[in-house]
Chain A
Amino acid sequence: MMKRKIITLVIGVLLVMGTAVSALAADEMQPWQAADAVRDALFAAQKAVLQADNTAALAELQTAQAVAEEEFAGFSPAVQSVLEQAFARAQTAVTDQDPVGVAAARGEIMGALYWGAYESLQQAITTGDQEAAQAWLLVREFRPSTRFSRPAADATLALQQMDTLAPDAVQAQVNADLLDTYQARLVTSLNTAVDAALVPERRAEAAGLAAALWPILAPAYTEQGGQEKLVTAQLAELQTAVLTGNESQIAAAHAQLLEALSSFRAAPLSPEEQARRAGQLMRYLSLVPVEYGRGVTDGVVMQELEIQEAITFMDGAQAAFADLQPTLAEIDAAQTQAVAQSLQQAAANLQAANRQENVVPVPQMTADIQKTTESLTAIVPPEWLSQNADADFDVLASVLDQVETAVQAGDYKRAESARLEAYAIFDVGPEPRLLAFSPALVAEIDGLFWQGYEGQDGLAQVIALQEEPAVVAAARTKLDAALSQAQLTLGDAPSSPTAVATNAAIIVFREGLESVVILAALMASMVGAYKRFRKPMVLGVALSLVATAVTFWLAQVILTSLSRYGERLEAVVSLLAIAILLLITNWFFHKTYWKDWMKGFHQQKRQLLSAETGQFVGLVMLGFTSMYREGFETVLFLQALVLDAGTKVVLEGVGLGLLGVIVVGVITFRVQQRLPYKKMLVYTGVLIGIVLVTMVGKTVHVMQAVGWLGITPIKGLTFPYWAGLWFGLYATWQGLILQVSAAVFVLGSYFGAEWLQARKRQHLHSGQKKTLPA
């Protein structure tokens, strides 16, 4: 019985204790709740002072102090000291009915809370206490959103991975986020404090906040060789000046502080971030003269919106440069300063043009930007200048914004121009690399940029049809999703040598197939009397391989310049290849016609070249252009892989791909040789016809991409992406009409030749009849 009573008693006590603990836990404030309570009470105190209600103000102040003392008792003595003094000053200010003094103290108290929370967070990371770290991270400030940035989430994500990352790595990511935020906040607060247009309370609060946030940044400042005590003293001077309303002293302290902080970066950018900023800087700069050139004609601003775009891109360039400036100044202070000044001058010129005053001529703007770019290239580390996919995606997003802005303004022509610009950035930037790792995604993005993909509208299509802004925005959203996917893919892309070599081999094999089909088919038909025509074609192919190798070498030397003009060169070479192939196809179907034509031409014009020479040159050119067209495109694609894994690995892949191409070519050649001659001619002709039509379709697409041909989408018609990839089929009137025309030309020339042959035979027969003896 006694035993039962004891057990019951113990259980009862345990239950009571458990309930008490639960209750305590439920009442326990989270750090963020305590910080909010302090903030709200201080705000209420400020309001009360403005309403001259001292009693209420003091009560609120006491509430704030009580919460701070209880909930933040674990803060370091330095933080506690600031809090204590600030609360004392607040109390004095309330008693004196001094709202400015209350505001100043409030700024200091909130700054000290963030400081204490930061220290507690650091401690929790060091001891591996994830829960505590996450709780303290909720007491923080954020950067406000701007057009080019959103609040970072590095710290939040780093804490999420505390169980897998080393404490140092977590610390680094947390600091990258928080130190950057607090430095931005410090500078904003300084600028608020100096702004005479603002009410004194706001300025005082800002000065107090700046002084209290400074200890968070001071260690990094000292580490970078700064005089931390000097800045502390200058911040105190600023506070005093703001409280006394001494404008000249405020301005002086502000100037000194900005000077002291000018080359300080609390959270140095990681190498990846530096490369990204450098990529953004170069891309944005390159777009400035393009937009300016579209907006200004003969020294007069004709398109204000283009100038606006140029200004937007210059803002982006300056923002990226500002982030890099401290590091660049360490490399070459004088040159960095010169670049800063030239950027400022260019920005000033753009603003002057925007106001329609003193419009700088386009060549001068172009030359100035070119000079700035060259100066930057001289001081920027080479590894920053390697193609940076993230930077490309950043700039792409900005240019796509221009598309939507233009559509909203009803300017579809400008929207299309911006869309082509965005596509060019993708085409020479991320696409070559993405093609190596996810060709299906490239096809999707291509489709979404152009005529659509699997039932979804393409951007070119909706712009050409002048759809409503909401429709264009929806198309852009789909494209954004695919681009995000691409960015993720490239970020995760494997760069193992085997993978890169394999991808290089696949690219070479795929691009080489088209040439192989044409050449092997033609050469296989060159038997008997026509065997001699093989040599010029082989010569043409050999020359094209040499030209491709030279192009590859050139690409290493003048990488950026080449890629900028890549599509245009591809279009030119493609046109040449088509022209030659059309002629040779014509000749292929009726060789006698070719001979007769050349003979006639020779008789009429007394030309220097013989018919035979003309054929020779034509075949050399056919061999050259067929192979070089693919070779050039391949070189462009391979550059991305070279940057990834180096030339040696890529060349290994190229060798493998070439081997595959040669094997396929030989097999094709040998198989065709065994076919009956006539049937072989027919099937080879059909094959060449298909290749020709495909080439026409793809060339039209390239010419539309560089703006040499218009785009008229066929409403209601969409092709699957593989139709474009394999057969050059895109749903535009220009593409289909020209493909059909090519097919008609080929078929027409075949039947025309047949008709000519039949007529000849008729003449022969009638001639023979006449000569028969009666």
Chain B
Amino acid sequence: MTRLLPLFALLLTIFTLAACGQTAPEPAPPAPETDVDLTAVKQYALDHAAQMKTGTSALAATAQTYHDLLAANGFDYAAAWASHPDELTQLVLQARDNWLTASNNYELNEGIVAGVPSLAFYDTWIDAGPSGAEDPAAAYQWTLALPNGDSLENPGNFFHSLLEPTIWGTKAEFTGLKVDLDGDGTITLGEALPDANVLLAAAQGLDQATGEMTAAIETWQPTVSDAFTALVVMIPTMNEYFEQWKLSAFVAGQASEETAFIGASRLVDIAGILNGLDVTYDNVGVLVASADKNQHAQIMDGFADLQNYVADLHAQEASGTDFTSQQADLFGTEAQAKATALAGQVAQVAALLNVKIAE
């Protein structure tokens, strides 16, 4: 045994020496994710996700009732309309309300969900992703199975690729029959009976997706990096949103060829997104103020300015103002300029605080 001691000592020495080689100079200190409680941001997101779920659950129930009624008529939309006009009208209007509840609450969350890298997938699936027909390269690959055995490949996002065109009848293949819903003698844009199979499948799918999104938010541990990434990524997207607003029915009116943003103005989306981002910034503002109080004041002012700007525009729209495309272009450009400046300012303070903005 004594003879083995030298060998053991040797082995121990060898390994100790080599292990010492592992303690090379320590890396530079990590980016200081300074201490700030973002619980309020998470709670905000959860609250609106819960309210969104009430909308999606109601929509799924409405879609089921609608589907059952059409099934009872052998999916003969003309016959069903002839025999149950009031009931069908009620169901379509109810579906619209349900959709609006779900959509409006999602928009209040979109700034966070779309801007936080670990949650962004749900924005693609629920609200923003293109369909395979629109953009084959960027489309999320998934299949929506319909109750009649058919399926839709890479159909895009639930809100604007599937449900909105279905409920407002802006896509022929998702429409059962164009009908005079308001009984004024003319069939105008948005008056139609949805395809029952697409409506049911999409409504149930959205409800499920909302549940998954809510679960993801529950497990999400918000970080300062998440907050700043959401701010820098989402604020500059106003240009695209305003472009969609310009082309939507609210500006182009009956001439609109857009199949989305007919149920609610894009301004509602923009206002919702800004609201969520404002809540996010409010919770990191104390950090920013400690780094640069003037920059913090500028950002706070910028947020308030942009929100008021959008609210003012929406108020005009809601009161019946018809915007020309010239005016819409001017307002859109101005909004983008404000948004670009705001995003740039946030990027400055992120750099001052040494916060990493995720790609």
Q: Do chains A and B interact in one complex?
A: yes
Let me know if A485 and B28 touch, CB within 8 A.
Answer: yes
Task: Find residues 302-359 in chain B having any chain A CB closer than 8 Å to their own CB.
Answer: 305, 325-327, 329-330, 333-334, 340-341, 343-345, 347-348, 350-352, 356-359
Contact with A along B84-123 (1 / 0, CB 8 A): 0000000000000000000000000000000001111110
Let me know if B24 and A672 touch, CB within 8 A.
Answer: no
Q: How far is the CB of A25 from chain B (nearest CB, A)?
A: 14
Contact with B along A140-162 (1 / 0, CB 8 A): 01111100001101001100100
Contact with B along A667-681 (1 / 0, CB 8 A): 110011011100100
Q: Which residue of A lies closest to B120 (CB)?
A: A473
Contact of A674 among B6, B17, B120, B334 (CB under 8 A): B6
A555 close to chain B: CB less than 8 A = no
Let me know if A513 and B14 touch, CB within 8 A.
Answer: yes
A135 close to chain B: CB less than 8 A = yes
Q: How far is the CB of A429 from chain B (nearest CB, A)?
A: 17
Task: For the complex, give the distance between the alpha carbons of A266 and B3 in Å.
Answer: 76
B18 close to chain A: CB less than 8 A = yes
B243 close to chain A: CB less than 8 A = no
Task: For the complex, give the distance between the alpha carbons of A35 and B142 in Å.
Answer: 49
Q: How far is the CB of B336 from chain A (nearest CB, A)?
A: 8
Task: For the complex, give the distance between the alpha carbons of A25 and B334 in Å.
Answer: 31
Task: For the complex, give the distance between the alpha carbons of A481 and B295 in Å.
Answer: 27
Closest A-B pairs by Cβ, 3 of them: A142-B344, A153-B351, A506-B21
Let me know if B298 and A509 touch, CB within 8 A.
Answer: no
List chain B residues, Cβ under 8 A from A202.
Answer: 329-330, 333
Q: How far is the CB of A634 from chain B (nearest CB, A)?
A: 13
Contact of B10 among A135, A201, A667 (CB under 8 A): A667
Q: Which residue of A lies closest to B343 (CB)?
A: A145
List chain A residues, Cβ under 8 A from B358.
Answer: 477, 480
- A residues contacting B by CB (< 8 A) are 30, 32-33, 36, 40, 43, 46-47, 50, 134-135, 138, 141-145, 150-151, 153, 156-157, 160, 198-199, 201-202, 304-305, 308, 397, 400-401, 408-411, 436-441, 468-470, 473-474, 476-477, 480-481, 484-486, 488-489, 491-492, 494, 499, 503, 506, 509-510, 513, 517, 660, 664, 667-668, 671-672, 674-676, 679, 683, 722, 725
Q: How far is the CB of B346 from chain A (nearest CB, A)?
A: 9
- Decide: A436 near B24, CB < 8 A? Known: A198-B329, A304-B137, A513-B18: yes
Interface of B is mostly: helix
Contact of B232 among A150, A304, A484 (CB under 8 A): A150
B151 close to chain A: CB less than 8 A = no
Contact of B27 among A151, A397, A401, A489 (CB under 8 A): A489
Contact of A308 among B137, B232, B297, B359 (CB under 8 A): B137
Contact of A683 among B4, B119, B341, B356 (CB under 8 A): B4
Q: How far is the CB of B164 from chain A (nearest CB, A)?
A: 22
Contact of A485 among B27, B142, B294, B333 (CB under 8 A): B27
List chain B residues, Cβ under 8 A from A683.
Answer: 4, 7
Let me know if B295 and A509 touch, CB within 8 A.
Answer: no
Contact of A484 among B118, B139, B333, B356 (CB under 8 A): B356
Let me know if B352 and A304 touch, CB within 8 A.
Answer: no
List chain A residues, Cβ under 8 A from B7.
Answer: 671-672, 675, 683
Let me know if B121 and A509 touch, CB within 8 A.
Answer: no
List chain B residues, Cβ under 8 A from A513.
Answer: 14, 18
Q: Which residue of B lies closest to A139 (CB)?
A: B298
Task: For the complex, give the distance between the alpha carbons of A633 and B236 in Å.
Answer: 47
- Decide: A473 near B137, CB < 8 A? Known: A144-B236, A408-B124, A488-B28: no
B37 close to chain A: CB less than 8 A = no
Q: Which residue of B lies closest to A155 (CB)?
A: B348
Contact of A153 among B22, B305, B326, B347 (CB under 8 A): B347
List chain A residues, Cβ under 8 A from B334.
Answer: 43
B31 close to chain A: CB less than 8 A = yes
Count residues of B near A (Cβ-Cβ below 8 Å): 63
Task: For the complex, give the distance between the alpha carbons of A510 and B326 in Å.
Answer: 71
Task: For the complex, give the distance between the alpha carbons of A30 and B297 in Å.
Answer: 10
B128 close to chain A: CB less than 8 A = no
Q: Which residue of A lies closest to B31 (CB)?
A: A484
Let me know if A674 and B326 touch, CB within 8 A.
Answer: no
Contact of A142 among B14, B28, B137, B343 (CB under 8 A): B343
Task: For the complex, give the distance between the alpha carbons of A95 and B110 in Å.
Answer: 44
Let me know if A664 and B14 touch, CB within 8 A.
Answer: yes
Let me know if B18 and A138 touch, CB within 8 A.
Answer: no
Contact of A470 among B26, B118, B141, B292 (CB under 8 A): B118
Task: For the complex, give the distance between the alpha carbons of A492 and B28 in Å.
Answer: 7
List chain B residues, Cβ under 8 A from A722.
Answer: 22
Contact of B25 among A397, A494, A675 (CB under 8 A): A494
List chain B residues, Cβ under 8 A from A470.
Answer: 118-119, 121-122, 216
Let me know if B347 and A437 touch, CB within 8 A.
Answer: no
B74 close to chain A: CB less than 8 A = no
Q: Which residue of B lies closest to A31 (CB)?
A: B294
List chain B residues, Cβ under 8 A from A134.
Answer: 292, 294
B69 close to chain A: CB less than 8 A = no
B301 close to chain A: CB less than 8 A = yes
A-B contact pairs, 7 of them (CB 8 A): A135-B294, A142-B345, A410-B141, A438-B24, A485-B28, A503-B24, A664-B14
Task: For the complex, give the distance between the alpha carbons of A439 and B22 in Å.
Answer: 6
- Decide: A473 near B25, CB < 8 A? Known: A36-B305, A142-B341, A305-B137: no
Contact with A along B15-51 (1 / 0, CB 8 A): 0011001111111101100000000000000000000
